[in-house]
Amino acid sequence: MVHVCVHSAIVICVSLSLYAVVNNHDEIGVPNFYSLHSWLGLATISLLFVQVWLWLTVHLIPQVPDAIKEDLIPVHRFMGMVVLALSVVTIISGITEKARFMDNLEEPYSGLPAYGLVSNLLALSVVFFGLGVAFLVVNPEFDRAKSDDPSEFLDLTSD
């Protein structure tokens, strides 16, 4: 259930962020979706929404057999890893883009000013976070306990 709650919060935050960015760009006259960062972000958001839609479709329709739910678990894991990897790349490209914008305003980035150091440390922390999550996902030691009843972990309607 924690997984569902965290990802619900992510979907809400991503939706609000996308609205805020597009609205801000429109207000100041900056084009939308012109950079690699924005294209990667759009791809990441699209895959996230496909993942959520698929999960809702499979788990909230009671007629979907448990065998199909079980068969989709590896697909769900793989797509989650793809969304995670795209998220990390998107965040790093956004940090780099912002640092390059600031390069025109302040001291050169090549001198590693304070904003450059913070940008680099933030990007490294995002990479290490992504690697940590990927490690937890692929390591069988951290798998959920197996059950004889597959609907126990796959169906929100069970108690």
99-124 pLDDT tens trace:
887 766 667 767 778 888 889 999 99
| Half-sphere exposure for 114 (CA within 13 Å, toward CB) | 1
Residue 159: what pLDDT?
43
Q: Is the pLDDT of residue 148 over 70?
A: no
Residue 158: what pLDDT?
47
pTM for the whole thing? Answer: 0.81
Average pLDDT along the chain: 85
Q: Is the pLDDT of residue 37 over 70?
A: yes
155 DSSP 8-state letter: -
Coil, strand, or helix at residue 83?
helix
What are the backbone dihedrals phi and psi of residue 49, each rounded to the nearest 5 degrees, phi first?
A: -65, -35
